[in-house]
Structure 1
Amino acid sequence: MVLPFEFHALFDWMEANGFLMPSEAYPGDRLGLLGTEDDVQSDRVTAILFRVATGEQARSNGRDWFGEIVPNIEERLVPFARTGGDGSCAAFWLDDEGCQQIVHLGSEGLVCRLGRTPLDFLRLLAIGYEEISGDGLGAPGEPPRDTLRNEAYRAWLAERFAVPVPRTAAEILGEVPDALAETSSDPFWRWVREQQDGAA
């Protein structure tokens, strides 16, 4: 599991701008933000808190989802950000072919891939949803209500990577399987269901 180059650039930008806040859950750690703490509280940026889980924390999180079914789950699934106030998170996932991808683990069971590349994920954040786990995945075909959210982040993304920001999450994600879906072409959804069905 490696931190993508694009994430190194993002974390450097957060550090340079002081877009950090102390972690209440993990004293001594800091959380990366898309703006200041006041920006987060005032809804001027997407509410996402970056903090890469330790191996022990990744193991605990993975066991909450899969029990003991996936050996060494911390080598396959490592949370790196809280995507909503409900406890949902984004994670790095190592698929069965050894390809590292970015995925979503929803507190209510919604799981999906968050784009095909790390840059897709950064573009997804730039759209300006209140939360990725909320309106971003709940209504991916709809644009955010506030189009002014994440202005500084969007400007940095355009300058650093020269990529367009899509209007909706669906332009990156396609169809997002909901928590009650019985079938999906989403590779992470299929992997999660295979593990959970194997445990039954």
Structure 2
Amino acid sequence: MQEGFRYRMRERPPYVLPTLAILTISLILTYIVYSSQNGNTWLETGYPTKKTEGWRIRVCKIHQEIFIRDPYLPPKPLHAILNIDATKEPFKSFEHSSHAGQRNHKAVRQIIAEALHQQLLLISRRRNLEQKDDAGKEMGENYEDWVSLMERVAAVLLDDDPRNNYQRHFVPALTGGVWDFMSSEASLLETKLEQLKKLCA
């Protein structure tokens, strides 16, 4: 029996054992990386810590980037980046704009597209007024990041499924506080950030 086993081992192709070793090491490393990331929070990675829908991953990543840019600003709906009030019509009645053919669908998309266009025009004018010095170049780079952020926000809001889910789940949590107007900036920041953490958990 032992002789037969040794024979089979001698007859095994020479690349099998190294391949098995590499595969085992890869699996171990993958587990270590996954375990180390599994404890990270949404604010650290920008991604939800649990399995979730694609639209939620997109909006949570954008919210994390906004928070990193200004960690002292209480979170607001993504609409605010484009200077849009998500609590007003036609955005408020999102059930009437969820897909093409509904009465508010065209109006919602037009408002988003025009808002992005206006924000890009404002940035273009500001950049044209900048002096061509080191400070101006640095600000220009920041503008590029801001433009990228606004374009991704617009892309999410122009996509029917993400927009409607976001309006249903995120907008009430980030705007629904009855006593928000009486809260301090620090208290409002803490409250809204906790809401966002729950939504992106």
Q: Could you state the TM-score of these two structures normalised by the residue count of structure 2?
A: 0.24
- Using CA pairs below 8 Å that are at least 6 residues apart, which structure has the higher relative contact order? 2
Q: Which structure has the highest strand share of the two?
A: 1
Q: Which structure has the highest helix share of the two?
A: 2
**Structure ID, larger Rg:** 2
Q: Could you state the TM-score of these two structures normalised by the residue count of structure 1?
A: 0.24
